[in-house]
């Protein structure tokens, strides 16, 4: 698995932060974010903004998240489902296996097509969205991709999608 990170903006790295400390213009932020090519972005499955935590969330008495053991069990179960269905993980599915194992209802197919158009996404992005949606459904213990699984997968693409400013 590959990971990459990009600051929110070139100058202060605070763009989008709730503190409103960023003073960079929207043009500067757009130009900085456009430095990563579209074909490279197409190859990244999950685009996730990770905001700075407020200090109160770091306190010892702050509410905890889901226990790691629970998450690990859910991931192991999802991986077993994937291997049982296709003999491999969803991320390794080729195009024909993706189309076979990542079927959508007609309503969800129309939703995906509208999103592809609105966000100016490529065919490669569409297949990645389908595989991510299938993985989300597997983590949810679902035999089929439902609308919430698809919309969550689309959400992982939407924030960084669209044509570059120079296009």
d(CA 110, CA 123): 15
4 confidence band (pLDDT: 50, 70, 90): low
**Could you tell me the pLDDT band of residue 16, with boundaries at 50, 70 and 90?**
low
Mean pLDDT, range 59-71, rounded to an integer: 91
For the chain, give the mean pLDDT: 83
Please state the pTM of the whole predicted model.
0.76
- Indicate the range of 9-13, 139-143, 144-148 predicted with least confidence: 9-13
Helical segments of the chain, H only: 26-33, 38-42, 68-86, 95-101, 106-119, 123-139, 147-158
pLDDT of residue 32: 73
CA distance 141 to 119: 29
Nearest residue to 30 via CA among 16, 48, 9, 7: 9
Distance CA 95, CA 113 (A): 17
Helix (H, G, I), strand (E, B) or coil at 97: helix
- Among 10-24, 42-56, 58-72, 75-89, name the most confident range: 75-89
Q: Give the per-residue pLDDT at 163.
A: 43
The pair of three-digit structure tokens given for residue 134, joined into one six-digit string: 């299938």
């Amino acid at each position: 698995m590959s990971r990459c990170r990009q600051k929110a903006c070139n100058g202060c790295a605070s763009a989008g932060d709730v503190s409103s400390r960023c003073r960079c213009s929207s043009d500067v932020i757009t130009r900085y974010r456009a430095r990563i090519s579209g074909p490279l972005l197409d190859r990244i499955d999950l685009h996730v903004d990770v905001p700075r935590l407020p200090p109160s969330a770091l306190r010892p008495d702050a509410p905890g998240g889901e226990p790691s053991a629970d998450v690990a069990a859910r991931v192991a179960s999802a991986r077993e489902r994937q291997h049982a269905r296709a003999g491999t993980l969803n991320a390794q599915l080729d195009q024909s296996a993706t189309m076979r194992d990542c079927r959508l209802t007609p309503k969800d197919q129309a939703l995906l097509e509208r999103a592809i158009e609105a966000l100016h996404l490529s065919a490669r992005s569409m297949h990645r969205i389908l595989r991510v949606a299938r993985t989300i459904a597997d983590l949810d213990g679902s035999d089929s991709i439902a609308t919430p699984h698809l919309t969550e997968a689309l959400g992982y693409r939407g924030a960084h999608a669209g044509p570059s400013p120079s296009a």
